């Protein structure tokens, strides 16, 4: 099997859950791929190709199915069975019967499909093919219904668009219409691309802003801690300064006492010498 770029497990689980929920609501796969592409900012073809590639992988890997908790029976590939001639004629007759009563082709196909969207699309496509490519069968069905008493118009039913006959040359009006259509298409694609680009840039900017806010919050917390430490140091410094003042005061008192004692000693010594000299005389 050709290698493909795998998604993260949580993305695979999300995709398959999205498909399962859509199938429960009778939403066709093509619409589910488009909706999921919009939801995840991917291309529909990319989602579709990955889904089928991953589905094939899961069908051959029971351990991975178990790990991701994916019920493979809910994602079985449906192989369309070709219509036989009788089935095709019966389908066209039933649709024409309902459209003769004012029911749209789409609604008639949905009724025949019992509400199943995939079958409804299949019936509608087959009916469109008969109308466009097998006019003989289509006209024979109309004639048969008319003989049975039903009023069936020979024109194409609603919701069916027939291709115009090919012309060898394009008129100026055709060219202008084609040009305007291309301009609208290019404009629409440019707007979508610009929107996607803006979304990516916005998400990138938001992520950078988020990281910056986290960093600022961390710095702010660090600053608060430093402020608390500084306050503690400032308090301790004030206490030390007060203790130094006390020590300086005590030291001054001791020096003062020492000076007084020294003076008294000198005075006593001087008096003692004077007395001795008097005694000697």
Distance CA 50, CA 44 (A): 10
pLDDT tens over the chain, length 281 residues: 445 577 889 999 999 999 999 888 878 888 899 999 999 999 999 999 998 888 888 888 899 889 999 988 888 766 667 889 999 999 999 999 999 888 999 999 999 988 887 788 889 999 999 999 999 999 999 998 888 887 776 554 444 443 333 444 556 555 666 777 777 777 777 787 777 777 778 788 888 888 788 888 888 788 888 888 888 888 888 888 888 888 888 888 888 888 888 888 888 887 777 777 777 66
pLDDT at residue number 91:
93
pLDDT at residue number 174:
59
Q: What angle do CA 129, 132, 133 make, to 5 degrees?
A: 75
């Amino acid at each position: 099997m050709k290698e493909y770029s795998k998604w993260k497990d949580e993305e695979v689980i999300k995709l398959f859950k999205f498909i399962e929920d859509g199938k429960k609501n009778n939403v066709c796969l093509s619409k589910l791929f488009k909706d999921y592409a919009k939801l995840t900012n991917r291309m529909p073809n990319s989602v579709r190709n990955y889904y089928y590639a991953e589905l094939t992988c899961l069908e051959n890997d029971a351990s991975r199915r178990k790990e991701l908790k994916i019920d493979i029976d809910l994602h079985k590939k449906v192989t369309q069975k070709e219509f036989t001639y009788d089935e095709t004629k019966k389908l066209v007759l039933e649709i024409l019967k309902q459209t003769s009563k004012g029911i749209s082709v789409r609604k008639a196909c949905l009724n025949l499909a019992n509400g199943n969207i995939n079958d409804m699309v299949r019936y509608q496509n087959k009916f469109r093919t008969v109308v466009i490519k097998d006019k003989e069968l289509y006209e024979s069905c109309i004639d048969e219904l008319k003989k049975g008493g039903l009023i069936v118009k020979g024109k194409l039913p609603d919701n069916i668009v027939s291709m115009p006959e090919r012309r060898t040359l394009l008129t100026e009006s055709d060219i202008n219409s084609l040009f305007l259509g291309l301009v609208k298409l290019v404009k629409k694609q440019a707007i979508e691309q610009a929107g996607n680009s803006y979304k990516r840039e916005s998400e990138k900017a938001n992520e950078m802003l988020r990281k910056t806010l986290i960093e600022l919050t961390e710095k702010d917390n660090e600053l608060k801690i430093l402020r608390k430490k500084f306050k503690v140091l400032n308090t301790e410094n004030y206490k030390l300064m007060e203790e130094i003042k006390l020590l300086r005061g005590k030291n001054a008192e001791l020096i003062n006492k020492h000076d007084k004692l020294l003076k008294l000693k000198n005075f006593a010594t001087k008096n003692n010498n004077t007395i001795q000299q008097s005694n000697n005389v």
